[in-house]
Amino acid sequence: MRLKNNKNYISGSFDITTTGDNPMKFPPLARTLTCLLVAALPATAALADSITLKASHQFPGGKGDVRDEMVQMIAREVAAANVDLTIKVFPGASLVKAKDQWKAMQTGQIDMTSFPLDYASGMHPQFGATLMPGLVKSHEHAQRINASPFMQDIKAIINQGGAMVLADAWLAGAFAGKDKCILKPTDANGLKVRSAGATFAQMWAGAGASVVSIPSNEVYNAMQQGVIQATDTSTGSFVSFRLYEQVKCITAPGDNAMWFMYEPVLISKRSWDKLNDAQKKALTAASQKAEAFFNGESKKLDDKMVDAFKKNNVQVATMTEADAQAWRDVAKQTSYKTFAEKVPGGKELIEKALSVK
């Protein structure tokens, strides 16, 4: 017995011939099984399109941190879209250390992150402009910055680095002292200060401080152990990491904010390119919703910080315009000057940002 016309087996129409070459149709049971196999093929193809993305960040999970909430919201919205796309969130630096998120995206260890972009300025020094003292002045100003040529340049560098922005996020920040308020540059002289990034570190050093480089999720222990005496970080991190338990005074953003940091939700281009059109559409819509949520919550973070610190008997201060100008004068001679001289395209980036009114 030999198989004849086996190229037609999927249709169930092939014959079995005997040595006498008398054709005999394939038995009905076998045809039924073959049809069942064919019917299962589309489901198998659909399963092949199912994708799970790993989203990592350094912020506390499930504690109300708005950055964690953004990522969790994106994951929930994508799941609800029913497009065979799952986002698994790893908060609290549980998968990747805080400052390694960018590299982890490039190597494929993670797919997405909510990330202080300045943390990657060692590889892309232009990112330092997204944490430049006094460059962004308010939450409303941050929205105008997002639509500016300055941000177009920053996002082009992000893309060149193998990632893309899913959702924009600017967080205001504050200064805090373990033993005293920090309002003027002279208040920082002689202190050991943790700074969020190189640009602020240069300004702190210009004011006479010694700079200690650690991520925001390590500030609590460093202050508790006396490694640092002051810090700058976002208002959200001041609350999420319970720094009100370690400081005597905090300088809130008020009307003269010096500290704004860009902390977008990013996805690696490699991971994005694996998605089909329906998955990309769902992820984009979810990210837009998360960004709108963040914009509604960002100013509330400042108020929440003030309330939390007051409830814990921490003095809350704000800078006068003269205080802020004194800091800007130090920054112009340190952070701005160094950035313009040493970073390719740095002078033009600062000028573009400063042109946004």
Which is more confidently placed, 60 or 247? Answer: 247
| pLDDT beyond 80 at 108 | yes
Q: What is the average pLDDT across 69-94?
A: 96
Query: What confidence category does residue 27 fall into, taking pLDDT thresholds of 50, 70 and 90?
Result: low
Domain 49-354 has CATH 3.40.190.170: yes
pLDDT score recorded for residue 236:
86
| Dist. CA 56–CA 114, nearest whole Å | 7
Q: What single string gives the DSSP state of each residue in 237-261?
A: HHHHTTGGGT-SEEEE-TTS---EE
- The pLDDT assigned to 11 comes to 37
Question: What are 205-260's pLDDT values in tens digits?
Answer: 999 999 998 888 899 999 999 999 999 998 988 998 999 999 999 999 988 899 99
Does residue 13 have a pLDDT over 70?
no
Closest CA to 227 of 205, 212, 216: 212
pLDDT band at 270 (very low <50, low <70, confident <90, very high): very high
Q: What is the pLDDT of residues 35-55, one digit of tens each?
A: 444 444 443 334 447 999 999
Q: Where are the domains of the chain?
A: 2-46, 49-354
What's the average model confidence in pLDDT over 301-308?
A: 94
Tens of pLDDT along 150-194? Answer: 999 999 999 999 999 999 999 999 999 999 999 999 999 999 999
Which pLDDT score is estimated for 324?
92
Structure tokens at 55: 């989203």
Answer for the pair 343, 337: CB distance below 8 angstroms, yes or no: no
Query: CB atoms < 10 A from the CB of 196, how many?
Result: 24
Residue 299: predicted pLDDT: 86
45 versus 342: the higher-pLDDT residue is 342
Backbone angles phi, psi at 112, to 5 degrees: -135, 160
Map residue 236 onto helix, strand or coil.
helix
The confidence band for 9, taking pLDDT boundaries of 50, 70 and 90, is very low
How far, in Å, CA of 356 to CA of 149, rounded?
9
Per-residue pLDDT at 10 exceeds 90: no
Each residue's pLDDT tens digit, 130-160:
999 999 988 999 999 999 999 999 999 999 9
Q: What is the pLDDT of residue 17?
A: 40
Label residue 29 by pLDDT band (50, 70, 90). very low
Number of neighbouring beta carbons within 10 Å of residue 144? 15
pLDDT at 28: 52
Indicate if the pLDDT at residue 345 is higher than 50: yes
Burial of 257 (0-12, 13-18, 19+ CB in 10 A): buried
